[in-house]
Amino acid sequence: MSTVETVRFKLMPGTDTTDFETLDRRVEDDYMAKRPGFLSREVSRSDDGEYLVIVHWATPEDADATMEGFFSAAETQDFLAAVDKTTVASGRYARLTR
């Protein structure tokens, strides 16, 4: 059964959204998409500037392994610096099959 992770957050004050979206694409291309079990990732932004990231993984173990290295990986540091950590909320779900 595949795993769905969600992360909601806002940016640090003064962060340019166009610059951030470039950083976001780099995180996906240079880090997330290269991890075992990565299936897909989508990013949305609300009118008030909150981002919602949804990542699909093959297994919960794949998600765990990726997140264990996410905060220390060189590829994620600029992205993380732009995120207001006080606004981060995450969740994990098992995808239902029909």
Do 80 and 71 touch, CB atoms closer than 8 A? yes
What CA dihedral angle connects 26, 40, 54 and 77, to 10 degrees? Answer: -20
pLDDT of 97: 77
Instruction: Please give the model's pTM, rounded to 2 decimal places.
Output: 0.92
The yes-or-no verdict on residue 22 having pLDDT over 90 is: yes
Task: Please count the other Cβ atoms lying within 10 Å of the Cβ belonging to residue 59.
Answer: 13
pLDDT tens per residue, range 45-92: 999 999 999 999 999 999 999 999 999 999 999 999 999 999 999 999
